[in-house]
Amino acid sequence: MPGGLTVVIDAANVVGAKADGWWKDRAGAAVRLHEALLVADVPGEEIVLVLEGGAKAGVKPGKDAHVRVVHAPKDGDSTILAEARKRVGKGRRVLAVTADRALGANLHGVGADVVGPTWLLDRLGP
């Protein structure tokens, strides 16, 4: 769907934005974020949730409704950038969710818009 919106999420940044003990159970935090995204009112036809490290144990890669889970083979930043670049290259609008300034600059460089984790957390509810 050219021109459609894809939201690419830096899961580590979003989960890390709330001091709720996520660091004790990264896989569980990934599950909670994934489940919240399935029912949240987030704009866009596609949500890409990028998981890295221990968070990958929580949710299998693949598509579930409108949420696609991608496991970063190495660092999450490279995978987030690649996912954004791929979709911009197909004519899609990309909104990336991250607090990482360097990653945000790189995302802008490939044509993505960037918002911070609060933007997403506000849409996920309490």
The pLDDT tens digits for 15-33 are: 888 767 666 789 999 999 9
| Count of CB atoms situated within 10 Å of the CB of 24 | 8
Question: By percentage, how much of the chain surpasses pLDDT 90?
Answer: 83
Residue 120, helix vs strand vs coil: helix
Any idea where the domains of the chain sit in the sequence? Answer: 5-124
Instruction: Tell me the CATH number of domain 5-124, given options 3.40.50.1010, 3.90.180.10, 1.20.120.160, 3.40.50.300.
Output: 3.40.50.1010
The pLDDT tens digits for 65-95 are: 999 999 999 899 999 999 999 999 999 999 9
Q: What are the phi and psi torsion angles at 61 (to 5°)?
A: -70, 150
Q: Residue 1 has what pLDDT?
A: 40
Whether residue 115 contacts residue 101, with contact meaning beta carbons closer than 8 Å, is answered with no
What is the band of 115 on the pLDDT scale with cuts at 50, 70, 90? very high
| Count of CB atoms situated within 10 Å of the CB of 121 | 18
